Amino acid sequence: DISGSIGTPDVKLNLGGEFIKESTATTFLRQRGYGWLLEVEDDDPEDNKPLLEELDIDLKDIYYKIRCVLMPMPSLGFNRQVVRDNPDFWGPLAVVLFFSMISLYGQFKVVSWIITIWIFGSLTIFLLARVLGGEVAYGQVLGVIGYSLLPLIVIAPLLLVVGSFEVVSTLIKLFGVFWAAYSAASLLVGEEFKTKKPLLIYPIFLLYIYFLSLYTGV
C-alpha cells in the first residue's frame, strides 16, 4: 500500500527583498503567461480630486463676480474686469437657471426660452462687438450677460410685493433693467468702441428688457 498526502507547494515571490507566499493558482497563471490578470493598478492621485475641482468650479471666484455685478460702482474698489477677463461657465449658467426658475409661473417653456435668449442674445452682442472693432471673446460675453441677470433676480421679490401698484412696479422694473444693462455694458463696452458705444449699449438694454418680459409675462 502506498499512502500519504501531497501538500500545496510553498512558492514565494521576491518583491523588493521581501518574500510573499503565492497560491498554486497564482503560480499556474504566471507560468502560463496570464500574470497580467493579477496586476492591480495603483490609485492615481488625479482620480481623487474633489468634484468641484474636477468640474472646474471655484465658488469663491463665482461669489466675487456676483458682488462685482451687483455693486458696479467703481468707488467700491472691486476689480470688475475679472468678470470679463476670467470668464467661467458654471456661474452664469447657475444665475440663468435660477432666473428661469423664478420666471416659471406654471409655464415650463419659459426656462428653455430664457436659456435660448441667453445663448443667442450673447452671440448677437458678440458679433456686433466684433463688427464694431471690439476685442472680446464669445465666452466673455456669455459670462457677462449671464452674471448681469442678477439685478433682475434682486428686484423679483419687490415686484411680488408692489405688483398692485402699477407706477411703483414700473419704476422698479426700469431700475432693474438699467442696473442689469449698466453692469453688462460697463464690462463689455470698452474704450476701443469710442463713439460707437450707443450701438452696443442699446441692444444690451433691449436684451434685458426681453429677459424681464419673460419673467413678468408681459
| Measured CA angle at 89 (ends 180, 60), to 5 deg | 80
Among 32, 63, 66, CA closest to 146:
66
pLDDT digits (tens, 9 = 90+) for 157-199: 888 887 678 888 889 889 999 999 988 888 888 776 667 788 8
pLDDT at 8 > cutoff 50: no
Confidence label for 218 from pLDDT (cuts 50, 70 and 90): low
Which 8-state DSSP code applies to residue 7? P
Of the two residues 6 and 143, the one the predictor is more confident about is 143
pLDDT at 14 > cutoff 70: no
Of the two residues 41 and 86, the one the predictor is more confident about is 86
Among 169, 172, 182, CA closest to 208:
182
Neighbours of 25 (CB within 10 A): 9
11 — phi, psi (to 5°)?
A: -105, 130
pTM of the predicted structure, to 2 decimals: 0.69
The dihedral of CA 22, 26, 31, 34: what is its sign? negative
- List the grid coordinates of 182: 449698466
Listed in order, strand segments (DSSP E) in the chain are: 11-15, 18-22
Mean pLDDT of the chain: 76
All structural domains of the chain with their residue ranges: 59-216
In whole angstroms, what is the distance from residue 218 CA to residue 216 CA? 5
Confidence label for 205 from pLDDT (cuts 50, 70 and 90): very high
DSSP 40-86: -PPPPGGGG--HHHHTT--HHHHHHHHHHHH---GGG---THHHHHS
In whole angstroms, what is the distance from residue 144 CA to residue 86 CA? 10
Which of 26-30, 89-93, 97-101, 207-211 has maximum average pLDDT?
207-211
pLDDT at 217 > cutoff 90: no
Using a 10 angstrom Cβ sphere, with 0-12 exposed, 13-18 middle and 19 or more buried, the burial of residue 22 is middle
